[in-house]
Every structure is written in structure tokens, then in C-alpha cells.
Amino acid sequence: MPEHESYSRFRWPVAAERMIAAPAQKVWAAISTPGNLELCHPFCASNPVQVWQGPDSRDEVHYLSGWVYERRFLRWHDGTGYDLEIGRHGGGTSFVSWRITPVDAGSCILKITVYPHILQNWPTIVRWIPYVLRLRPMLRKYLESVVGGFEWYVMRGESVPRNQFGRHPWFSAS
């Protein structure tokens, strides 16, 4: 459950993690660089930054599909991750936690957990079916592509190609 009190109502998070054969500091450098999604995110067309570094950071994710989401950072944990909210301008927001866990001197785990806002106001019995059949599998596929993109960038030192791990119906261009 997210630490932030305004997200206590969120249930059923979706997460993806990846072991990356690089020191945690190198992965931190990748996730904490302004505009990093342009280099590391396989579905990101651009990542304009309004304010960067620290808990008041704000940027936008312009997806290949044309969707634009705002990210507002709530907490910034130097070297280990951050928490943010993301959503369309004027719309509902989801809570997202990015964490780096060192495994040893040369490897770490990057984990992204999303507490999606969609379906949260539906009765549990009604939201279970769309969550299990559509939301969770699609969001997990998306997150696996994102952590894979960060691994790509960290290991190769080059931008991840768009749609590198397959197209996504929500975030790729039609």
C-alpha cells in the first residue's frame, strides 16, 4: 500500500521488476535524469520537464499514441527511487512507486508499482472481472516494457527503440 495518505483507497496494484546487471547508482542515474523517458521508455515520444529533481518535480509523458499524461512527484528518495502521481490533465491520477534495490555491487532490481485509479470507485464484485481480464494484463505488459527499456538503456548506453518489446494498444501509435 502506498505511504501517501490520499492513496489509502487504492487497491490491487500492478508491478513489474527487472534484475539489471549494473550497480544501483547507474540505474539511479538513469531514472533520475531529467527527460529520462525519452531515452528509456519504449512508448514515449517526448518527456518535457517543467521542474526537476526532488519531491516537487513535474514533467509530462507524451505517448506514441498521442496521449499526454502529467507526472507530479510526491517523494524523492535519493539513490533508491521516488513516488509520483500520474494522469491526464484534469483527470484522475494513479499512484506510482519506482524503487531500486541493490542485490550486490554490480546488480540491482528496478521495480515499478502502479496503483491504478481506474475502476477504484466501482464495487469490488463488478471491477474484479475487467481488472483480471484487461487492466492487470495490459498494465503489466506495459510496465515490463518500461523496466526492459531502462535495462536496455543502462546496459547499452543507447536509447531504447520505440515499441522495442512489442506494440501496446494503449500507448503505441495506431
8 Å CB contact between 18 and 110? yes
Question: What are the tens digits of pLDDT across the range 153-171?
Answer: 999 999 999 999 999 999 9
What is the model's pTM? 0.90
- Determine the structural domain holding residue 72 and report its residue range: 5-156
Lookup result for grid cell 538513469: 30
Question: What are the tens digits of pLDDT across the range 106-131?
Answer: 999 999 999 987 666 666 666 666 76
8 Å CB contact between 70 and 85? no
| DSSP per-residue string spanning 11-48 | ---EEEEEEESS-HHHHHHHHHSTTTHHHH-TTEEE--
pLDDT of residue 5: 47
In a domain, 170, yes or no: no
Contacts of 38 (CB under 8 A, 6+ apart): 44, 46, 47, 159
Question: What are the tens digits of pLDDT across the range 35-90?
Answer: 999 999 999 999 999 999 898 999 999 999 999 999 999 999 999 999 999 999 99
Please give the distance of CA 149 from its chain centroid, rounded to a whole number: 11
Residue 3, pLDDT above cutoff 90: no
Q: How far apart are CA 88 and CA 93, in angstroms?
A: 7
Q: Which carries the bigger pLDDT value, residue 132 or residue 75?
A: 75
pLDDT of residue 171: 94
In a domain, 161, yes or no: no
In this prediction, residue 2 has a pLDDT band, given cuts at 50, 70 and 90, of: very low
8 Å CB contact between 86 and 98? no
In a domain, 174, yes or no: no
In a domain, 64, yes or no: yes
The domain total for the chain is 1
In a domain, 92, yes or no: yes
In a domain, 172, yes or no: no
Residue 1, pLDDT above cutoff 70: no
Question: Which CATH number fits the domain that encloses residue 150?
Answer: 3.30.530.20
In a domain, 60, yes or no: yes
In a domain, 39, yes or no: yes
